[in-house]
Each structure stands twice: as structure tokens, then as C-alpha cells.
Amino acid sequence: MGALSALLRRAGETTIQGLKLFGAWLLWPVMAAHGWYRQRNLLIKLPIGAFLVLFFGLYGYFIWQTQIWTGFDPNFVDRYKFQDRNVGAGQELPSSVQPATQPTAAIAPPASAQPRQCQPSGIVEVAADLTDTNVNQNAWISSMLMYRLGFFGLDWDRTPFLDNKAAFQRGVNQTVRRTAVELVDSLGRVRGTSGINGNLQDARGNLQFDEYSWYFGLQPFGFKTPTPSYYRAAINSLRKFNGDLASCNAVFDGRADNLVQFVDRIANDLGATSAILRERSENYNGGWFDTRADDRFWFAYGQLYGYYAIMSAAGADFNQVIRERNLSSIWNDTLEQFRGALKIRPLIISNGAEDGLIMPSHLATIGFYTLRTRSNLVEIRSILDR
């Protein structure tokens, strides 16, 4: 027993000594830099110290922003109360449900003198709010300086660290971009008889701006401003359009053929994402060690998050078409499919085998829900086409 105890004690001492040597090896560059810095004069110390404070301050702010998801709520659609809207977007509201904007005088003005009020678009409202959450309630991660610098020069998307929120934001932004295109091309005007709405045109142009751009880069008229400023301009344009629509000074064309096209474009968008998920899931079964699985997952999740809100709003904007075509049941079922997908929020994203026990395939799971919602959208389009 004595020999065994001595052997264990010697092994423990050796282990401790090894850990000390390893720690000294790790700290040596820091200690060497500290010794060099201490021997410099003040003119050298001050700039270096200021740079280090700025560098670590920016990294601290960046890390904080990637971990705090302000305004994220899969049930946020409930606050709009779309189920209470009985009038489609752009349609004139009955006087009984118009906002009480008139003075409460003893003698009310005649009904003919009251300004017309129309139903604003839920789609436009949601698109503006989704963008507001991306760039006002949160920092836009993809164009932050420290995100662009990467992890020792390696793109953050190629690491398992600090890129989930950026991928989610880009997924949400993809839904708003797609929606803005449809608003300009068909929903925001009567095709063939009216011009393109200027506010929607401005919103579409600003939302198409590069998601990754920071402050630098020469343009014909000077340096370009950061990506979030373009998206904030788009928010203002969308809300201006909705204000004009509420005053009956803009058009929302809620015809069935426009809904067919809108649903078809969303289905195609989700189909493209499903193909990306399938390709990654089938060809890169790295389990927890697939460094691109997390941004693929969260991009798809952001898309489903955004389209859940957009489709909920479309149900209100096109409520007359949905009632006439008896789509209420399948429409509500589609929304439930979206809600089901949004319940999947694993702590660590794994891209393992589909029958894996220890390392499951979260990409296959989110891909399944993406395909299921797309299948419902295709069925809605088929019913509308009849």
C-alpha cells in the first residue's frame, strides 16, 4: 500500500508540474508583452493602451450583442389581433369602427364631413416591425466591425461561435425583402392601371442593400453609410405607405390572383432553403463539430419566424378571399405548422445522422418543418388556382 501511495503521490506531483508548465507556456506571450510595454516611454504606451482598450471594448460589446436577443418572441404575432380584423387591407372601414379622431363636441359634424378611413395593411406593418426589431431593438450583427474582422481572420460563419443571431437576422431579413418585392410588383398597386408606389419602391431598394456592408466603400457620391441606416429608411417608407393606405390615399390590391402569386413566391423561397438544409444534412454529418450547421439552422429559423408573421398578416389582409375560397381551415393549419417549427430551439445545433442518438440532426428536423409548411402553401396555391 505504501508503494502504491507513493506512486500516486508522485503521479499527482508530476501532473501538477505539467499543468504549471502548460500555464506558463500559455502566459509567456502575455508576460513578455507586458515586460516590453512596461519598459517603453509614455508616447508609446498611450497609443498602445488606447488601442487595446478600444479593441477589447469593441469585442466585449460585440459579444454582448450576439448573446442578447431583444424582442425575440415566437408568439409576438398574437399582439396584432389579426383575427379581429373583418375588413381587408385597403378597404374602407365602416364608420362604426373608424378611429375616434373627430372632436367630441355637443353637435357632431355630419357623416359626410368625416374623413374616410381605410384598413392599413398587416403585411406592411409586420414587415416594418420585423425590420425594426432587427436594426433598432438589436444591433445588426452582420455589419458590425468585429463581425467583419472575424475570428483571427476566419469568417464567424465558419466557426461555431457568435454567429447564431446574425444568421437569424438574415433569415428574417430575407422574408422582408421577398415581401417588399411583392408589395411593389403586385400588392401595392392595381396592375395595369396604376403606377408603382414611391414609398414601396424606396423600401424595396433599401432592403436590397448588402447585409454585410460597414461604413467603408467608395460610392459615386462619397462613402456609403452602414447597412442598418438603409433598413431604417425602409421602415419609414413602409410606415408612410401604411399611413397613406389608412387615409385611403394608397392602394392595396387584395385580389385572389395576387394572393396566389404571393403564396407561390413564399413557397419557392422556403423550397430553396429546404434544399440548402438537405444538402448540408446529407453531405456534412459532423454532429456537433459541423461549424456551418448552426448558421444554416438559424437562417431557416429566422425565415420561418418572419414568414409566420407575414402569413398571419396576409390572412387578415386577404380575409375576404380566404372566406370566399373556404381556405380558413388550411390557412390556420399552415400557421400552426409555422408555430410548431418555432418551438425547436436546441441549445447546441447538431448535424448528425438522422437516426443519431447522441448527435441528432437538427438540420433534418428544421428541414422537415420547412417542407411541411411549404407543402401547405402549395396546397393553398392549388385551391386558389381552381
pLDDT at residue 364 tops 80: yes
Nearest to 294 by CA among 228, 362, 353, 236: 362
SS3 for 178? Answer: helix
pTM above 0.85, yes or no: no
The pLDDT tens digits of the residues spanning 252-291 come to 999 999 999 999 999 999 999 999 888 877 777 766 667 7
Residue 224 pLDDT exceeds 60:
no
- Per DSSP (E only), the strands in 2-72 are none
Taking the C-alpha atoms of residue 359 and residue 197, their distance in angstroms, rounded to an integer, is: 50
Q: What is the mean pLDDT of residues 338-346?
A: 91
- Residue 39 pLDDT > 70: no
Is residue 375's pLDDT more than 90?
yes
**Residues 127-150 pLDDT 10s:** 999 999 999 999 999 888 888 887
Question: Does residue 270 or residue 196 have the better pLDDT?
Answer: 270
What's the Cα-to-Cα distance from 151 to each of 59, 157, 163, 225, 316, rounded to whole Å?
11, 10, 11, 24, 45
Provide the pLDDT for residue 16: 73
- Tell me the pairing of strands 218-219 and 222-223: antiparallel
Bridge partners, 287 (sequence order): 351
Q: How far is CA 149 from CA 60, 62, 87, 331, in A?
A: 14, 11, 49, 44
Cα separation, 308 vs 336, in Å, equals 9
The DSSP code for 187 is I
pLDDT of residue 96: 46
Q: Which pLDDT belongs to residue 345?
A: 87
Nearest to 185 by CA among 91, 89, 261, 250: 261
pLDDT reading at 100 higher than 90: no
Find where cell 432553403 sits: 273
> Which position has the higher pLDDT, 380 or 107?
380
Q: Comparing C-alpha atoms, which of 344, 302, 349 is closest to residue 170?
A: 302
Instruction: Report the C-alpha gap between 290 and 61 in whole angstroms.
Output: 27
Buried b (16+ CB within 10 A) or exposed e, 219-239: eeeeebebbbebbbbbbebbb
Q: Which amino acid is at 197?
A: N
Largest Cα separation within the chain, whole Å, is 107
Per-residue pLDDT at 238 exceeds 50: yes
Chain mean pLDDT for the chain:
82
CB 86 within 8 A of CB 270: no
Is residue 212 within 8 Å of residue 148, measured between CB atoms?
yes
What's the one-letter identity of residue 158?
A: R
d(CA 245, CA 120): 6
Per the listing, cell 414601396 goes with 200
For the four alpha carbons of 329, 334, 335 and 336, in that order, the dihedral sign comes to: positive
Q: Is the pLDDT of residue 360 over 80?
A: no
Cα separation, 326 vs 376, whole angstroms: 15
Confidence label for 12 from pLDDT (cuts 50, 70 and 90):
low
Averaged over 203-228, what is the pLDDT? 70
Query: Which of the pair, 155 or 314, is modelled with greater confidence?
Result: 314
Task: Give the model's pLDDT for residue 162.
Answer: 87
CA distances from 75 to 80, 173, 251 (A): 10, 18, 29
pLDDT in tens, 52-73: 777 778 888 888 988 999 999 9
